Amino acid sequence: MTSMPKPKLDKHLPRNKLGLTIRNYEGVMSTLCAGCGHDSVTASLVQAFWELGLAPESAAKVSGIGCSSKTTAYFMGQSHGINTVHGRMPSVATGANAVNGDLHYIGISGDGDSLSIGFGQFAHAIRRNLNMLYVIENNGVYGLTKGQFSASADVGSTTKKGIANEQTPIDPCVQALTLGAGFVARGFSGDKAQLVPLIKAALMHKGFALIDVISPCVTFNDHKGSTKSYAHTYKYYHPLIHTDFVAEADAIIGEHDEDGALEVTLHDGGQLKFKQTDAGYDPRDKAQAVETLMTPSSNGEIRTGLLYLNEDSPDMHGSNQLPARPLNQFAHEELCPGSAGLEKLLRRYG
């Protein structure tokens, strides 16, 4: 089989500030299972990019291997994409980003890709504060190889045949917090209203922005006994904090809402408005975020929302003093010292 393009009938669809409809941000037809959470994440990404009015060619999509990583073909067909090797998307994103920081890098990964085979690269991309949106489509299971547990499977969660996982899960959000990520969020593929603003904010965040999206696998991990099923997630899903993203142009400069909403302006433009749903949760308090995530809740709730935000640490470009003009745009004459330079350079070797 070959990939199928989507029909582009968009005459009556609304247009964004670039005059583009949502169709301009779609990719080829998904080949994932019907009802797969990943397709909802894809739809949210398309929505967010369209709403922000970013030019499709300003994005570069990067991914590894697995069901999640396939999805970079299913959105933004007018953007370059690179579907790399298993667990190694962060390194490719790093090299690409280093030589052209002007693009929006969208990394799509999965729990196997980021927390098992690619755990090292995931960690080091965070340490470098690579300026990118990093989405983990987290379903707790290996789909393409038919249902093995992944490293994010909860203790006690069972396979379809009823076998329970006994190994401690890796929580990518806790890892990201301890490794220094400045934007850590958790979403749910079933809640587009929450996910779209998170994606928009993450794209505008200058630095590493992780969104761990619980994205159920309908074929291998949606049964009773699974803690990453739709039913389980809907039941225990709990937004810790509500986040709205207001694009720069539309930003309303005003007073805080009466109910204690918090506003943060992002370096790359746009404003975040938080509304607390849990009394006292402050998304700028890393210790609190770690403590909250690591403390099992009495009622088994899955905490979601923008869990942590810190815009202060320099991204990889800043800490490497990379030029404002992308490195891939320098002419050879600007880089090569020529024959006159050679003579000077070789003097000490004579």
Region 72-91 residues binding other proteins, contact defined as CB under 8 A:
72-73, 77-85, 88, 90-91
**Interatomic CA distance for residues 279 and 185, integer angstroms:** 18
Structure tokens at 133: 């949106």
Look up residue 255 and give its DSSP letter: P
- 158 secondary structure, DSSP code: B
Residue 96: alpha-carbon gap to chain centroid: 17
Contact flags string 112-141 toward other proteins, x per CB under 8 A: --------xx-xx---x-------------
Separation of CA 66 from chain center: 16
Measured from the CB atom, the residue of 172 and 283 that comes closer to other proteins is 172
Q: Which of 45, 54, 67, 93 binds other proteins (CB under 8 A)?
A: 93
Selection from 186, 199, 81, 202 nearest residue 130 by Cα: 202
Q: Does 339 bind other proteins (CB under 8 A)?
A: yes
Is the separation of the CB atoms in 114 and 172 below 8 Å? yes
CA distance 139 to 228: 6
Nearer to other proteins, 94 or 157 (CB): 94
The DSSP H or E segment spanning 187 is strand 183-188
- Please report, as residue ranges, which positions from 12 to 41 form the binding site for other proteins (by CB under 8 A): 28
Q: Which of 11, 12, 161, 332 binds other proteins (CB under 8 A)?
A: 332
Tell me the window of 52-60, 167-175, 178-186, 220-228 that interacts with other proteins (CB under 8 A): 52-60
| Candidate residues 3, 148, 167, 168; the one interacting with other proteins per rule CB under 8 A | 3
User: Closer to other proteins at the Cβ: 166 or 334?
Assistant: 334
Q: Which is nearer to other proteins, 84 or 229 (CB)?
A: 84
Task: Using the minimum distance from each CB to other proteins, give the nearer residue, 298 or 321.
Answer: 321
How far is the C-alpha of 346 from the C-alpha of 317, rounded, in Å? 31
